Amino acid sequence: MTSIQAIRGTRDILPSEIGNWQMIESVARQILGCAAYQEIRTPIFEQTSLFERGIGEATDVVGKEMYTFNDRGDRSLTLRPEGTAGVVRSYIEHGLHAQGGVQRLWYTGAMFRYERPQAGRQRQFHQLGVELLGSSDGRADAEVIAIATQILQTIGLKDLSLHLNSIGDASDRQHYREALVAYLTPFKEQLDPDSQTRLTRNPLRILDSKDANTQAILGNAPSILEYLSPASQTRFDALLALLADLGISSTLNSRLVRGLDYYTHTVFEIQSADLGAQATVCAGGRYDGLIPQLGGPETPAIGWAMGLERLVILLQHLQASPPSSVDFYVVSRGEAAEAQALKLAQSLRQAGFKTELDLSRSAFGKQFKRADRSGATACLILGDAEAESKTVQLKWLNSGEQSAIAQADLLANPQQLRQQLTQRST
């Protein structure tokens, strides 16, 4: 019988790789907590129309990449391709805006897009993102960018670059759109097929094309920055000054766009030169028009999302996933000893010591080998003699030192035991 394999574009994250994932999550959780962001968890599937309205029908994501199906009640549902739409739906549905002031939210989880799988591009992948809702202040833009930078730095990534642009307000973009279409129309036949369609549906997105020929044609295209109104320009200059003040350097990239009507002003990406074609590890922007578009009150907002697979790939270039280290490995042999070993292991766990119990019943020699391989700091040994005397042999695996101790005394002073483990674990 052929065995069943994981679906194309999905990956198992195995125990040997989980260390980096857990490290990223705990760093992010800690940093976001300090910045007073609260976690929100929304469902993995939603009504299809949420994404059609919340991401836009003219985008690749909605047009080509969604996992959409009818459920048994004939409702059209979609596995979430990104996090913002669900968070905004929840924000409106639960009246989080009515709580006044600013809401700072973050999320993490699996996202689904029907794409061609490559390194750093999967069909089920994971994002971590933030949304800051209820402020149009430039400091909100600077804050979310600073937090993204802080997370990436803290997990140990270097050589990342922040690319920044302003796409102005709806009227700036209308003028720019006309200029861009006027420039591109004579080249229409030479554009890649997607860009040809976008010329009428969503011309700003052409700037995002990965086709080399289209990119060459775009070389002389007008820049959005020439179409910013004085107010939009002032806002953008202020953001640049705030970022400089925070010590965050950025590269102006007038090609960076979010080609939808409800995106406004700030857009940014954080890229790594170390990832080949899948260079962007974090992407975000201001979406002042989205909440009304989804039926909520006028609410300015900004957010970003990071692709966790790409962060893990970068970390793997730097170091192996941190190994999990066990405090105690418990070996035992003989009926009474085995029963006592289970009890002892359980009380160690309850006291917060990471304890692995050997269940093999094999000869002591084999169990000791496994103890060594486990990376444990100490081995606890129970045989017939120890079971009889209610003692246990404590062996420090680094030095080989070994002594007997009454089982009842092992946890008499947990703090001291913890200190011993720390001293001996190097």
Minimum CB distance to ligand ATP, residue 329 (Å) = 37
Residue type, 95: G
DSSP string, 387-403: HHHTEEEEEETTT--EE
Piece of 114-122, 161-169, 214-222, 385-393 that binds ligand ATP (CB under 6 A): 114-122
Q: Which residues contact 53 (CB under 8 A, 6 or more apart)?
A: 293, 294
- Taking the least distance from each CB to ligand ATP, the nearer of 162 and 379 is 162
- Angle (CA) 198-89-12 rounded to 5° is 80
Q: Does 82 bind ligand ATP (CB under 6 A)?
A: yes
Q: Does 121 bind ligand ATP (CB under 6 A)?
A: yes
Using CB under 6 A, which of 278, 347, 393, 425 touches ligand ATP?
278
Site residues for ligand ATP, 306-345, by CB under 6 A, read: 307, 309-310
Q: Does 300 bind ligand ATP (CB under 6 A)?
A: no
Q: Determine the Cα–Cα distance for residues 41 and 24; give it in Å rounded to an integer.
A: 18
Q: Determine the Cα–Cα distance for residues 81 and 5; give it in Å rounded to an integer.
A: 23
- Taking the least distance from each CB to ligand ATP, the nearer of 127 and 266 is 127
Minimum CB distance to ligand ATP, residue 207 (Å) = 12
DSSP string, 19-39: HHHHHHHHHHHHHHHHTT-EE
What residues are designated binding site for L-histidine? Answer: 82-84, 113, 127, 131, 258, 262-263
Residue type, 115: E
What residues are designated binding site? Answer: 82-84, 113, 127, 131, 258, 262-263
Residue type, 362: S
Neighbours of 221 (CB within 10 A): 16
Q: Determine the Cα–Cα distance for residues 57 and 63; give it in Å rounded to an integer.
A: 6
Piece of 20-28, 39-47, 187-195, 305-313 that binds ligand ATP (CB under 6 A): 305-313
Q: Does 395 bind ligand ATP (CB under 6 A)?
A: no
- Taking the least distance from each CB to ligand ATP, the nearer of 82 and 172 is 82
Q: Does 386 bind ligand ATP (CB under 6 A)?
A: no
Q: What tokens appear for 324 in the block?
A: 């999990």
Residue 191 DSSP symbol: S
Minimum CB distance to ligand ATP, residue 121 (Å) = 4
Q: Does 125 bind ligand ATP (CB under 6 A)?
A: yes
Minimum CB distance to ligand ATP, residue 283 (Å) = 3
Q: Determine the Cα–Cα distance for residues 207 and 163; give it in Å rounded to an integer.
A: 14
Site string for ligand ATP, 30-69 (x = CB under 6 A): ----------------------------------------
Q: Does 113 bind ligand ATP (CB under 6 A)?
A: yes
- 292: enclosing H helix or E strand: helix 290-293
Q: What tokens appear for 185 in the block?
A: 């129309």
Environment class of 368 (CB within 10 Å of its CB; exposed 0-12, middle 13-18, buried 19+): middle
- What are the residues binding ligand ATP (CB under 6 A)? 82, 113, 115, 120-122, 125, 127, 278, 280-281, 283, 305, 307, 309-310
